[in-house]
């Protein structure tokens, strides 16, 4: 879980962000509390820290971005977390979404393919006092089989299809959120596993960096 580290200079901006997300239709109160608690300014580069609570995507290095807060909120809300779940995150990135998930789930397992980003994420999560997250460097398209099955899986990169490994590692009744499409534009898609099969529901058009790996786009 995340210990509140609201610095006075960011308190008003963070509250305005929460209100803006409510105006855009985010209704999950636990999620809104998490957004009001997690210090997003810790997870963005110092050069753009003054923009940390804008509802916009920001660069974080290695050709990656931290997504727009509304996209994070809309994505995490679809998982319908109650605090008891085990969640797999593909693409640690800035680790901001990782920290949000840590507020809302019992355990979070996050896989990142870029060592530079993972090396930045570890101390940031420690600084935010996040304790219930495990990180791994590897090919996210292969999941993290050791701790499967997962009640929720969230993929933070665009894929041409659902990686077979992630389908296999999703628990019965579990929810998988992944952007599906080409490299330029995708549809944020929710899959629920029922009777061993995935039921699909399209959420909203999005643009994510490509999901590179053995069961995604070739590197």
Name the nearest CA neighbour of 125 among 102, 141, 155: 102
Find out whether 168 and 190 touch, Cβ atoms under 8 Å: no
Task: For the chain, count helices (H), then strands (E).
Answer: 6, 9
- 67 is annotated as an active-site residue: yes
Name the active-site residue from 56, 62, 67, 156: 67
Q: How far apart are CA 58 and CA 181, in angstroms?
A: 22
Q: What are the angstrom distances between the C-alpha of 11 and each of 21, 30, 39, 89, 146?
A: 16, 18, 10, 28, 39
Name the nearest CA neighbour of 75 among 107, 35, 116: 35
Q: How far apart are CA 162 and CA 127, in angstroms?
A: 34
Alpha helices in 128-198 (DSSP H): 164-169
**Any idea which residues carry the catalytic annotation?**
67
């Amino acid at each position: 879980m995340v210990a509140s580290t609201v610095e006075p200079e960011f308190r008003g901006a963070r509250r305005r962000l929460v209100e803006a997300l409510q105006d855009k239709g985010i209704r999950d109160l636990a999620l809104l509390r998490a957004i009001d608690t997690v210090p997003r300014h810790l997870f963005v580069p110092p050069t753009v820290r003054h923009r940390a609570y804008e509802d916009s995507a920001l660069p974080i290095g290695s050709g990656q971005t931290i997504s727009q807060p509304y996209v994070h909120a809309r994505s995490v809300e679809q998982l319908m977390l109650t605090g008891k779940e085990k969640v797999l995150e593909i693409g640690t990135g800035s680790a901001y979404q990782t920290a949000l998930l840590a507020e809302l789930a019992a355990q979070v397992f996050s896989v990142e393919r870029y060592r530079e980003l993972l090396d930045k994420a570890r101390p940031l999560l420690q600084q935010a006092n996040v304790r219930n997250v495990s990180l791994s460097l590897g090919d996210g398209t292969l999941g993290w089989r050791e701790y499967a099955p997962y009640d929720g899986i969230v993929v933070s990169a665009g894929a041409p299809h659902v990686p077979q490994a992630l389908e296999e590692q999703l628990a019965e009744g579990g929810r998988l959120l992944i952007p599906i499409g080409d490299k330029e534009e995708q549809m944020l898609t929710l899959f629920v596993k029922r009777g061993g099969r995935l039921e699909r529901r399209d959420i909203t058009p999005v643009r994510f960096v490509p999901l590179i790996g053995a069961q995604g786009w070739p590197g």
